[in-house]
Structure 1
């Protein structure tokens, strides 16, 4: 008898670091570094997802400073707004397919139009090891 395939909800991170579009970009970059996360959702004042901020996005600070001779700005100036999401009920196999066909390292997990968590490539590998690792 096979076990049911786990869902994104079973393996996602629930305690998220989030940013506001109005947050200072240098402060946000420092948080990403100190918390050792590669990216975080950006939420508006109503808690709606409006973007993602990654370490890669933060490198834009260095790039922009070469032209404007100043450091800084707001998260909104650097965040990615082309955000792919995944539903909390999506099974892990479908989630792996999404990761394989995209450039994203993480997806915000949505439930009823709200961010419920985030799932990363590492979370999926953990699912693989925990769910199927003992089958071999």
Structure 2
């Protein structure tokens, strides 16, 4: 997945709605299509916002609103409360949609897309180019990419693979390039020498597995002797 981009991951056939679409029609659309959100586009194809299941639930909950208490009214913000009321009671996509969009470009790496979703606790990002919608990347798309066979596996020389593994190790403060020896044969990385802990051994294996061109990892390291700890 590390070599994939948003364009590779996205669903290109996206169901969209115009801003005047009634809320009830959007709810039926989500249920009939088995989707959880629809972007809202204007007549030129520009993205105005997105209506999600959460927006519709907020709209449903708005019907049960209770008058604010006298104490709460002392700290009311008219502009904020008016916007909240419109979203909670609106009848069209334009009223209830989320306008603070999270988007990426088509060449954004898959790892950055995943990190963005994790940091913002969101389920999807829009893929835009020149303000126009190209597709949507959802968490499901990321999971499919993660488990998909890596047909595009690189064929690199063993020397290049070893150099790439060593370079990756040098970037990590916990990786010991002095007491850990790296050998590569037919794309399979062999770890020899000493390791400080089981956690370091596991991390080294994961690091090597993520280097392009690596076909497998054999960990033959052994725990570092006590006398060597005093020397480092």
| Superposed displacement of residue 9, structure 1 | 0.6
| Superposed displacement of residue 131, structure 1 | 5.3
Q: 1:4 to 1:83 in 2, by over 3 A?
A: closer
Count matched residues.
Answer: 132
| Superposed displacement of residue 64, structure 1 | 2.5
Instruction: Indicate which of 57, 60, 70 corresponds to 1:59.
Output: 57
**Which residue of 1 is the match for residue 141 of structure 2?**
123
Question: What CA deviation, in whole Å up to 9, does each residue of 1:36-63 have, x standing for no partner?
Answer: 1111111111111110100110113322
The answer to whether the Cα contact below 8 Å between 1:26 and 1:72 also exists between their aligned partners in 2 is no
Q: Secondary structure at the match of 1:66?
A: coil
**Which residue of 2 is the match for residue 26 of structure 1?**
24
Task: Please list, as runs of the form range in 1=range in 2, the aligned pairs for 1:61-76 lying within 5 A after superposition.
Answer: 61-67=59-65, 73-76=91-94
What is the TM-score of this pair, normalised by structure 2? 0.52
Question: What CA deviation, in whole Å up to 9, does each residue of 1:82-106 have, x standing for no partner?
Answer: 1110111111111111111112211
Q: Secondary structure at the match of 1:10?
A: helix
5+ unaligned residues in a row in structure 2: which ranges?
A: 67-88, 154-214, 217-232
Q: Secondary structure at the match of 2:107?
A: coil
The answer to whether the Cα contact below 8 Å between 2:125 and 2:138 also exists between their aligned partners in 1 is yes
Q: 1:4 to 1:61 in 2, by over 3 A?
A: closer
Aligned alpha-carbon RMSD (Å): 2.4
Aligned-partner Cα distance in 2 for 1:113–1:131: 33
Larger radius of gyration: 2
Task: Please list, as runs of the form range in 1=range in 2, the aligned pairs for 1:1-136 lying within 5 A after superposition.
Answer: 5-67=3-65, 73-130=91-148
What is the TM-score of this pair, normalised by structure 1? 0.86
Aligned-partner Cα distance in 2 for 1:99–1:63: 26
Moved more, 59-68 or 47-56: 59-68
Aligned-partner Cα distance in 2 for 1:5–1:34: 34
Aligned-partner Cα distance in 1 for 2:9–2:135: 10
Q: Tell me which stretches of 4 or more aligned residues in structure 1 moved more than 3 Å.
A: none
5+ unaligned residues in a row in structure 1: which ranges?
A: none
Bigger RCO of structures 1 and 2 (CA < 8 A, at least 6 apart)? 1
Q: Secondary structure at the match of 1:23?
A: coil
